[in-house]
Amino acid sequence: MSNGLLKGKKGIIFGALNNQSIAWKVAERCHEEGAEFILSNAPIAMRMGEMDELAAKTGSDVIGADATSLEDLNKLFDAAIAKFGKLDFILHSIGMSVNVRKGKHYTDLNYDWLQKGWDVSAVSFHKVMRVAWEKDCMNEWGSILALTYIAAQRTFPDYNDMADNKAYLEGIARSFGYYWGERKVRVNTISQSPTVTTAGSGVKGFGGFLGYAEAMSPLGNANALDCANYCVAMFSDLTRMVTMQNLFNDGGFSSAGVTQKVVERFE
Ligand code: NAI
């Protein structure tokens, strides 16, 4: 499916680790819609090698950057500007919690790990936008997106400190989005259904999350391709006045009090 919605648009896509990654699907869809972009990920993720396949498929360069490092981000943006001139879109699809990875309980968080996860999952969005801001490298009517999860608004115990990281991430989208308005650039977060990926599957009880969300969503869970399609819409010229929003791509989960499927399980 291609409608040329992103023809001529240039961007950077962060976070495609393997073909299950949401960012992988976003890259495929952006390519189909005519965009050109640079793929970026943490150097350690790039060594796993799968990104080369995506780069070949989409005709993209791959440039490593630890998204917590201003030095790495400066180099990445310099390379993007050298290649494309100004940019039209950025996708931040980055998340990691050391406490989740190591199974540390929320009531007993390790604060060094918390800080690391907060930096990777939330503050990196500020750093990405700050570097783009300082280099003044976004075209007017450009679009910047990050991916988030509803644990920012409601408690999902096993999501642990990632819930707080997502709340912070959504706050950054609003706060920085205000300033980007001066430059006619929009900033939003997409709050996605639970999706089977490397990061998603790392959350304890993920299968339960997935099944519960499916039963609680009138349309069912949105998958990675659905998310990618929403990202394409948000990068396209069809959504120019949408900014500082947290946009749910969740089959209705966030508005459903209960569904028949769930009620039946308790009768
Ligand atoms: P994923 O594991 O494929 O992607 C996470 C990415 O973050 C990986 O590519 C990883 O290499 C990258 N990353 C980690 N540390 C980094 C660093 N220091 N610098 C640069 N990149 C770094 O998993 P997924 O699910 O595609 O995650 C993408 C985004 O979607 C994340 O923000 C995640 O929280 C969000 N999300 C995922 C949901 C799910 O159920 N899978 C639901 C809602 C949101």
- Residues flanking ligand 1, CB < 6 Å: 14-15, 17, 21-23, 41-42, 45, 66-68, 93-96, 120, 147-149, 192, 194-195, 197-200
- Residue 73 domain flag: yes
CATH of the domain at 15: 3.40.50.720
- Residue 3 domain flag: no
Q: Where is the binding site for NAD(+), in residues?
A: 15, 21-22, 94, 166
The pTM for the full model equals: 0.98
What whole-number percentage of the chain has pLDDT above 70?
A: 100
- Residue 95 domain flag: yes
- Residue 2 domain flag: no
- Residue 262 domain flag: yes
Q: Report the separation in Å between the CA atom of 11 and the middle of ligand 1, taken as the mean of its atom positions.
A: 18
- Residue 46 domain flag: yes
Tens digits of residue pLDDT in 44-57:
988 877 899 999 99
Tens digits of residue pLDDT in 251-265:
999 999 999 999 999
- Residue 4 domain flag: no
- Residue 150 domain flag: yes
Q: Report the separation in Å between the CA atom of 169 and the middle of ligand 1, taken as the mean of its atom positions.
A: 13
Give the chain's domain count. Answer: 1
ipTM of the complex: 0.99
- Structural domain containing residue 83: 10-266
Per residue, what are the HEC states of the chain? CCCCCCCCCEEEEECCCCCCCHHHHHHHHHHHCCCEEEEEECHHHHCCCCHHHHHHHHCCEEEECCCCCHHHHHHHHHHHHHHHCCEEEEEECCCCCHHHHCCCCHHHCCHHHHHHHHHHHHHHHHHHHHHHHHCCCEEEEEEEEEEECHHHCCCCHHHCHHHHHHHHHHHHHHHHHHHHHCCCCEEEEEEECCCCCHHHHCCCCHHHHHHHHHHHCCCCCCCHHHHHHHHHHHHCHHHCCCCCEEEEECCCHHHCCCCHHHHHHHC
Q: Report the separation in Å between the CA atom of 199 and the middle of ligand 1, taken as the mean of its atom positions.
A: 5
Nearest atom in ligand 1 to 17's CA: 9
Active site residues: 149, 159
